[in-house]
Each structure stands twice: as structure tokens, then as C-alpha cells.
Amino acid sequence: MAFGTDFGQGKAERRAADLIARRAAGAIQRTIRAGAESYERARDLPRLARLDAAGLSADTIEGAEEILSRLRRALRAERNRARSGHWTYDLNRHIALRQAYLAESERIEALKEKLAGASHRPQADS
């Protein structure tokens, strides 16, 4: 029987296909995680979100959320290009956007924790 013509797959074939899908998803997640760990805002963000130097220096929660918002819009546009099969779709850009989004999300969480930690410190009595 030719590949792709057996619509009545057996349990073994379904399990094998599920295993391949799980391994592929895991490989993609590891790639994104590794890229997020090596992410450098000054190097990567200008080509992904078209920000100038002033936009990159935002170390406030609001500035980081604006960057995250731009990355979210760029990711949405890239996903739409992928779904439509548009010739300008770039898988490497899509992965880089996802890595930057993950890294910036973690940066916001760290800023919020830092801010929360600073506000909960006991004040010394004079």
C-alpha cells in the first residue's frame, strides 16, 4: 500500500505518529528556550521590532510592555503570513520573534519581582 493511502491506521502507526509529533514539539521548545537564553536586546530587537536606541533603553515595566506589544504584533503578522503561504514568510524570523517574546516576557517578570521586592523591604528606623 502506498504512503498516505491507508486511512485506517492501526494503533502502532498512530502511536508512532504521536511520538514523532511530541518529539518535534519538544525540539522546537528547546530551540526557542535556547534562543531566549542567548537573546540580547540591543543586538536582536532592532531588526525584529524596528525600534530605535531610545526604545531599547526602556528599563521600566511600561517600556518593556510596549516592546512586548510590538513583538506580539510582529508575531501575529508572521503567523498570518505562514498560514496564508505568503512568499515573504520567514521561518527563521518567526523563531527569532518567539525567542525575543519569551525573553522579554521573562524580563518583565523579573522587573515586576524586583519592584515588588523593593516595595516590601522593611524600612530602618532612625
Report whether 49 contacts 74 (CB < 8 A): yes
- The dihedrals phi and psi of 22, each to the nearest 5 degrees, come to -65, -40
pLDDT in tens, 70-108: 999 999 999 999 999 999 999 999 999 999 999 889 888
Of the two residues 5 and 48, the one the predictor is more confident about is 48
pTM score, two decimals?
A: 0.70
Q: What is the pLDDT of residue 120?
A: 61
Report whether 38 contacts 32 (CB < 8 A): no
- Domain ranges, ordered by start, for the chain: 17-118
pLDDT in tens, 2-20: 555 556 668 888 888 888 8
Helix/strand/coil for 53: helix
Q: What is the pLDDT of residue 89?
A: 94
In Å, what is the CA distance from 63 to each residue of 8, 67, 69, 111? 54, 6, 10, 11
Give the pLDDT mean for 63-67: 86
Q: Does pLDDT of 55 surpass 80?
A: no
- CB contact set of 102 (below 8 Å; sequence gap of 6+): 32, 33, 36, 39
Determine what percent of the chain is predicted with pLDDT higher than 70. Answer: 81
